[in-house]
Amino acid sequence: MTNCLSKTEIPYGKAPATFRRKELLVGPSTAGSRLDLFLAAQKILPSRSSCAHLIEDAAVCINGTLATSKSEKVVLGDRVSVEIPLPRSDPNGLAPNFSIPLDIRFEDEWLVVLSKQAGLVCHPSPGHVNDTLANALVARFGYDHLGHLQGDDRPGIVHRLDRDTSGLMVAAKDDTTQRALQDLIRLRTLDRRYLTLVWGYVAPDEGTITTGIARSRHDRLKMAVSEDPGAREAITTFRVLERFEAGRRDEGYSLLECHLYTGRTHQIRVHMRYAGHPVIGDPLYGRGNDRTNLGLKRQFLHSWHIAFDHPVTGEAIVEADPLPVDLIDILKKLGARSMGRTAAGDVICPHVLGV
């Protein structure tokens, strides 16, 4: 086998200049493991696939000899030397941001399901350069180990959530998986369900809203229901979970579960406004003041459920995410005004309230 060379002689991928060296000793509990599994167990990188990339990129030596296969077995007493690349920016300046926490609910070598916190922008935009989910993904996985079909400034991003919408979303670690996940969305087999609290009494227990959505002609920051030929079809179904009676200064509230069959910008927010039941706390499409918004400083919109068949393994991926504390507090404020839950609410509410 080839002797282990210096870092100037063995470049790591496309970024040979910045790395840190890690020295590891194989103990009794890991002796006999495959090399990639051994490295993954040391948690030097976030996934087995990223450890395999290190081996492929000539960054791992065993007892001073270059490792050439991820399936090579380590034995008791082996000394494994690893040169771990520091995350780099992409050519367009997308820098890793290590200060943004990632709440990962599912991960394998192809994709990640995570829960995005409210206030976090998904990818760079005016006013948000290095403080986005994309920057956090680069910090966690490395720029070269994320899908780039959405553009070099959107590594890993499969679909977006608005800045102040919280909850579950999917990211991809390579282009092939990213394309497959986007196909699932287009085929409407990636099941995305949201919880929202809206203004007023929604009379039917369930319904479907189907319209075109396009950029508003009056306010370029907004989207709007439109019959323009260029408008894109948008389909949202909803189920009422619980209703709250009217107060002295409001018309009551309804808690809904919305199911997206398409993924247009601001789709649920636009459709609820169109139906006469805008989302509580929505600064763009809502109505009312701090009192009628129940003191909420962002839209009451949370991606609580996501389900799909894994595009590589075929495994059924199903994740649920209870409401965050700020939204639970709003429902607690309304608790005494509840008019009762629907049959759907009896099933869903115990899960989303975390009880």
pLDDT for 92 beyond 70? no
Least reliable range by pLDDT among 52-56, 112-116, 275-279 = 52-56
pLDDT score, position 36: 87
Question: Which of 196, 269, 289, 295 shows the shortest CA–CA distance to 239?
Answer: 196
pLDDT score, position 94: 81
Contacts of 115 (CB under 8 A, 6+ apart): 103, 105, 166, 167, 168, 169, 321
Q: How far apart are the first and last CA of the chain?
A: 58
Domains 19-85 and 89-187 share a fold: no
pLDDT, tens only, 145-155: 899 988 888 89
Q: What percent of the chain has pLDDT over 70?
A: 90
| Burial tier of 64 (Cβ tally within 10 Å: 0-12, 13-18, 19+) | exposed
The type of residue at 42 is Q
Residue 71 or 191, more confident: 191
Q: What ranges do the domains of the chain cover?
A: 19-85, 89-187, 188-355
Residue 57 annotated in active site: no
Give me the catalytic one of 162, 164, 250, 282.
162
Question: Which of 14, 47, 10, 41 shows the shortest CA–CA distance to 25?
Answer: 41
Average pLDDT over residues 130-139: 94
Average pLDDT over residues 252-274: 95
Question: Nearest 5°: CA angle at 150, between 148 and 153?
Answer: 70
Rg of the Cα atoms in the chain: 24
- 24's tokens: 């590891």
Q: Distance between CA atoms of 133 and 153, rounded to whole angstroms?
A: 11
Superfamily (CATH) of domain 188-355: Pseudouridine synthase (3.30.2350.10)
Q: Distance between CA atoms of 247 and 173, rounded to whole angstroms?
A: 49
Residue 346: helix, strand or coil by DSSP? helix
pLDDT, tens only, 294-319: 999 899 999 999 999 999 999 999 99
Instruction: Answer yes or no: CATH 3.20.20.120 is held by domain 19-85.
Output: no
- Please give the model's pTM, rounded to 2 decimal places: 0.75
Q: Distance between CA atoms of 183 and 174, rounded to whole angstroms?
A: 14
pLDDT score, position 248: 83
CATH architecture, range 89-187: 2-Layer Sandwich (3.30)
